[in-house]
Structure 1
Amino acid sequence: MPAHSDSLARLGLPSPIIQAPMAGGGDSAALVVAVNEAGGFGFVGAAYLSPAQLTERARDIRSRTARPFGVNLFAPQPEPTASATLTGAAVERIAGFYAELGLPAPSAPAYPGDGFAALVPAMLDSGAAVFSVTFGPPPAEVTAAAKARGMRVMGTATTVAEAVALEQAGVDAVIAQGAEAGGHRGGFIGDPATNLIGTMALVPQVVDAVSVPVIASGGIMDGRGVAAALALGATAVQLGTVFLTCDEAGIPDAHKQAILSATEDQTRLTRAFSGRPARGILNRVMTTVEAADAPDAVLPFPLQNALTRPLRTAAGQRGRAEFLSLWAGQGLRLARPRPAAEVVAALLDGCAATVERLAGARLAGR
């Protein structure tokens, strides 16, 4: 593995701090710009954007910062299937929530199609320095096209096998996502709901298994976590939850307040909102849709996501956290309401202070 500074330079990263892509609005242009200007690396989670929206988001970012940023997409997924029985049960399970918010009764969602191919041209033209994927390896032709534009390519792994598969697919770096991470599990080999290796265990095993740089993700919220990840062999860290309570984050205030008031034992993996396992703060939708004493009534991704989107949109507008997908990682007690620039500075300063303290302790022990 190259020296740490060499690996950062190889990936075009100004520091070890990467703001995670958070599809759905958390990673606003304002957040990406603030992270970049503070010395971190901002990401746009573009999977739910249209090509025109991605083009506009990238243009907005470029107009406000000359520093590099990244774009993340969901890897291509097969078209899901769901029986009429399951579809009816899924609609019925959330109908009461729609009624509670005064929304028209939900109906069976239509498959919106896989948006990856349509977004690729906008991603390539975005001016981004990094292209990353979640839920699978990037297609070979897209990897080649991105690299031809001078972009680095990254992929998300939750196991060593996935990391090896990503390296074989030609990525420049592997993002090792531990079980503590908020939001969607990025796994693609086996069941992502059961591949729950913690960050501390996953990162060194991935570092030993691949020759490309490794980026640690999951439960890292302060400089101590950054230092720990680097000590395990990571080149950089990717953080999401710590940025969700920033002034610039694009999530509803109800989501921010839920993170600030929750405890580390209140997050769960759920398929209730999107159909894929994701970690969020426990709320009514999760407990009702996935009731232990009721049969399964969750549609596969992205059908469940389409089914719950109107509910989540209305809940965000009305400040109803019990109906929101409150994505958050297990380190949420360490979140604070503050500008993103303060977060980046605290992460870098805290990491340096931790390394210095440990070096001092080692010398004192001799």
Structure 2
Amino acid sequence: MSGLFDGLGVSSPVVAAPMAGGPTTPALVAAAGRAGALGFLAAGYRTPEDVSAQIGAVRRAGTGAFGVNVFAPNPVPVDPGEFRAYAEALQSDGDVYGLRLAEGAAVENDDHWGDKIALLVADPVPVVSFTFGLPPRADLLALRRAGVVVLQTVTSVAEARAAEEIGVDGLVVQAAAAGAHSGTFTPGVLPDDVPLPELLRAVRAAVRLPLVGAGGVATPDDVVAVLGAGAEAAMAGTALLRTDESGASAVHKAALVELSNVETVVTRAFSGRPARALRNGFVERFDGLAPLGYPAVHHLTTPLRRAAAAAGDVERVNLWAGKRFRHARPGAARAALAGLAAKA
């Protein structure tokens, strides 16, 4: 493979996506490296100490090329009244596990942004990507001076142009079919639901940066289509959720099989930002009630989601999944990644 990842020892055109909240593990990133692919750790929701420990674990596994994805500050402050009303609506589900939800004020924070950037500048990894918004230019320049390749997740031509303007090295172009959170800069306005190859061609015509295509990459033919549309690599996430190295909860992995007749839906019920998940009881009850508000809604529902996952309660856990989740298979991640790259 040549271009964006020159000099990193990457031979596969498939990238293992960062999946925050547990599914991405150092073992999954290390497996990607053994497959000649680039894997990303997910720094979202982790403390800087956790991120540092995971970086160390990947390095001890002998993985040279890997990346870290960071949620860029793009807060969506929640309306206090709407937040309180939502907390009260959720309390009936919290009662199932003896939880008292939102006893204090809404939590609004930046996910340890400054400390994570300081860590990645002081102890740089080969690649860093940003999602949810653009990094401050000073932070971007500090990472580039440290020798880091910087990528930006975008969901539209307008976002791609803005990212090119601030000086990133490449773009992760995310289509609406992607599982979990949309990387949109404007969470109150959903990105157009267009196929990934079409979105890639539109972005390719608008900017000169190297591209990685993400969202709906589930088969070898998808990888070929992404490369044919002008990308240097295809990023897969949901396709890896059931692999041996995935840290997805047991209930999440099982749901990808047992709920194969269920469709995915974009909802803000779990986090206050749009994210694609399998439709379950929680989505049915609360999707229409959830306010826009990130990270406040994320912090509000976190104890409930953790309790549901521990109890194997498929109706109350966030079952992040892309549109093509039915292609996810169990087994070694290395084999899954090699299979995706087979026709490239």
Task: Report the TM-score when normalising by structure 1.
Answer: 0.89
Q: For residues 78 and 305 of structure 2, what CA distance do their matches in structure 1 show? A: 23
Contact 1:8–1:14 (8 Å) recurs in 2: no
Contact 1:192–1:277 (8 Å) recurs in 2: no
Counterpart amino acid of residue 136 in structure 2: P
Q: Give how far 1:67 is off.
A: 1.9
Count of aligned pairs between the two proteins: 343
Change (3 A) 1:227 1:218: same
Q: For residues 9 and 168 of structure 2, what CA distance do their matches in structure 1 show? A: 14
The one of 8, 32, 36 equivalent to 2:33 is 36
Change (3 A) 1:169 1:189: farther
Counterpart amino acid of residue 323 in structure 1: R
Q: Give how far 1:274 is off.
A: 0.5
Q: Paired residue for 1:359?
A: none
Aligned-partner SS, 2:6: helix
Q: Paired residue for 2:106?
A: 110
Q: Paired residue for 1:183?
A: 180
Q: Paired residue for 1:358?
A: none
Name structure 2 gaps, 5 residues minimum.
none
Q: Paired residue for 2:85?
A: 89
Contact 2:16–2:236 (8 Å) recurs in 1: yes
Change (3 A) 1:192 1:74: farther
For residues 213-362 of structure 1, the aligned pairs below 5 Å read 213-263=210-260, 266-291=263-288, 296-298=289-291, 300-349=293-342, 351-352=343-344
Q: For residues 231 and 264 of structure 1, what CA distance do their matches in structure 2 show? A: 31
Rg (Cα) greater in structure: 1
Contact 1:178–1:197 (8 Å) recurs in 2: yes
Q: Paired residue for 2:62?
A: 65
Q: Give how far 1:87 is off.
A: 2.1
Change (3 A) 1:232 1:105: closer
Q: For residues 175 and 75 of structure 2, what CA distance do their matches in structure 1 show? A: 25
Q: Give how far 1:103 is off.
A: 2.8
Structure with the bigger percentage of helix:
1
Q: Give how far 1:48 is off.
A: 0.8
Counterpart amino acid of residue 299 in structure 2: A
Change (3 A) 1:286 1:343: same
Contact 1:158–1:197 (8 Å) recurs in 2: no
Aligned-partner SS, 1:9: coil
Contact 2:18–2:42 (8 Å) recurs in 1: yes
For residues 188-203 of structure 1, the aligned pairs below 5 Å read 188-189=185-186, 191-203=188-200
Q: For residues 237 and 55 of structure 1, what CA distance do their matches in structure 2 show? A: 27
Q: For residues 301 and 130 of structure 2, what CA distance do their matches in structure 1 show? A: 24
Aligned-partner SS, 1:128: coil
Note the alpha carbon deviations across 1:239-259, whole angstroms, 9 max, x for none. 110111111111111101111
Counterpart amino acid of residue 24 in structure 1: G
Counterpart amino acid of residue 332 in structure 1: F
Note the alpha carbon deviations across 1:175-194, whole angstroms, 9 max, x for none. 11001000111011574424
Change (3 A) 1:343 1:182: same
Aligned-partner SS, 1:176: strand
Identity %, equivalent residues: 36
Task: Report the TM-score when normalising by structure 2.
Answer: 0.94
Q: Paired residue for 1:363?
A: none
Aligned-partner SS, 2:3: helix
Contact 1:99–1:105 (8 Å) recurs in 2: no
For residues 199-214 of structure 1, the aligned pairs below 5 Å read 199-214=196-211
Counterpart amino acid of residue 161 in structure 1: A
Q: Give how far 1:152 is off.
A: 0.3
